[in-house]
């Protein structure tokens, strides 16, 4: 009798890669809408440029590898990578820098390691760090939130600036752009100003950076949606945010005039986006239950350390990449006990 033999895997999960990526994109919409509301058309233009670049780059490399282009693009992973990278970029970044960062993320960080599932580093964060290290001036040129800005930019103005890398006629970059709350905090603390003095800045909101705090809230909402749908588990985001809040709280309790309140760290930069959408990347993050707690907690710790004593005001990208390198080691030492294994088996 002949038995039919099928190649593995023999079982498939209820969620396909395309479905998971689609839910991630759906969860990104509230935070993206908030960014657009506060920072204007540049946010959407960056997303459009990044997605176009990612799709073209992925198709080109997959074609050169003689793989199925439609299958590779159909999993939506390139779109997710491009969208996440674009959200981290300043709204008026020159278009060619967005193209460069996205192409690097897709071609070098993802495809040259074998494609989806094989990349050791988060592609979006690797692309962001490449741009931040290579172009520090343009990468720190953020717009002030719309609620305190006197320079409302139309779609045409935003396209002109992004395309030409020059401000509109009669305006200067200094008049058009502003430091982020994290950057301003860092700069003014280095000038020996107290938190009470810095809080008088219009960039401060109720518990974080003005505008930024609401962007963080909407990314938090998207993250809760992913938890509810089972796309991510709670360990990495909770341990990362708890670690960041705990360490910030300890230093704030020691000296509240030189260390901001923990909520400022959680809602003034990329902490919420990083905790729910970036650190939880199933390919590059730790996979064991205890390992995920360690992985997330160390990301939160590194975010605080780099923000406070490092060279960059925000640190989510660097912290995630550092822990990407450590994830295999964490997994090795945190393997769960095999069913039926006794304590003396460990000896």
Please report, in tens digits, the pLDDT of each residue of the chain (347 residues total).
Answer: 566 666 666 666 667 889 999 999 999 999 999 999 999 999 999 999 999 999 999 999 999 988 888 888 889 999 999 999 999 999 999 999 999 999 999 999 999 988 888 999 999 999 999 999 999 989 988 888 876 666 678 898 899 999 998 887 777 887 788 888 888 888 888 888 888 888 887 778 787 788 888 999 999 999 999 999 999 999 999 999 999 999 999 999 998 888 889 999 999 888 999 999 999 998 999 999 999 999 999 999 999 999 999 888 778 999 999 999 999 999 999 988 777 776 665 55
* pLDDT of amino acid 91: 92
204 strand-pairing partners:
209
* pLDDT of amino acid 3: 63
Left (φ > 0), alpha (ψ -120 to 50) or beta: where does 72 sit?
alpha
C-beta separation of 220 from 274 below 8 A: no
Cβ neighbours for 227, distance < 8 A, ≥ 6 positions apart: 233, 234, 237, 276
* pLDDT of amino acid 314: 77
What is the b/e burial string over 170-206, where b = at least 16 CB atoms within 10 angstroms of the residue's CB? eeeeeebbbbbbbbbbbebbeeebebeebeebebbbe
* pLDDT of amino acid 170: 76
User: CA 116, 122, 125, 130: dihedral to nearest 10 degrees?
Assistant: -80
* pLDDT of amino acid 116: 86
Report CA-CA distances (Å) from 100 to 5, 122, 126, 321.
46, 16, 12, 19
């Amino acid at each position: 009798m002949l038995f039919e033999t099928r190649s593995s895997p023999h079982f498939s999960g209820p969620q396909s890669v395309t479905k998971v990526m689609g839910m991630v994109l759906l969860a990104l919409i509230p935070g993206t809408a908030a960014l657009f509301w506060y920072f204007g058309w540049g946010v959407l233009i960056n997303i459009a440029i990044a997605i176009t670049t990612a799709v073209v780059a992925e198709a080109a490399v997959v074609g050169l590898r003689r793989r199925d282009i439609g299958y590779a693009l159909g999993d939506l992973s390139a779109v997710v990578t491009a969208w996440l990278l674009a959200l981290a970029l300043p709204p008026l970044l020159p278009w060619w820098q967005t193209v460069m960062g996205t192409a690097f993320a897709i071609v070098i960080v993802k495809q040259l390691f074998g494609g989806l599932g094989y990349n050791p580093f988060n592609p979006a964060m690797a692309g962001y760090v490449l741009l931040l290290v290579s172009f520090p001036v343009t990468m720190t040129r953020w717009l002030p939130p719309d609620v305190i800005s006197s320079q409302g930019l139309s779609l045409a103005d935003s396209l002109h600036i992004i395309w030409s890398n020059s401000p509109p006629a009669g305006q200067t970059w200094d008049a058009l752009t502003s430091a982020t709350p994290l950057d301003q905090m860092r700069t003014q603390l280095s000038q020996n100003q107290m938190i009470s003095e810095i809080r008088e800045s219009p960039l401060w909101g109720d518990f974080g950076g003005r505008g930024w705090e609401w962007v963080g809230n909407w990314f938090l909402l998207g993250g809760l949606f992913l938890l509810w749908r089972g796309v991510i588990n709670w360990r990495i985001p909770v341990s990362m945010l708890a670690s960041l809040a705990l360490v910030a709280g300890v230093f704030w309790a020691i000296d509240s005039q030189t260390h901001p309140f923990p909520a400022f760290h959680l809602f003034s930069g990329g902490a919420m986006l990083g905790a729910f959408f970036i650190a939880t990347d199933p390919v590059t993050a730790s996979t064991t239950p205890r390992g995920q707690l360690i992985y997330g907690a160390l990301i939160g710790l590194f975010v605080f350390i780099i923000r406070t004593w490092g060279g960059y005001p925000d640190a989510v990208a660097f912290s995630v990449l550092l822990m990407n390198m450590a994830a295999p080691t964490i997994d090795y030492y945190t393997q769960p006990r095999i069913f039926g294994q006794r304590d003396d088996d460990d000896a």
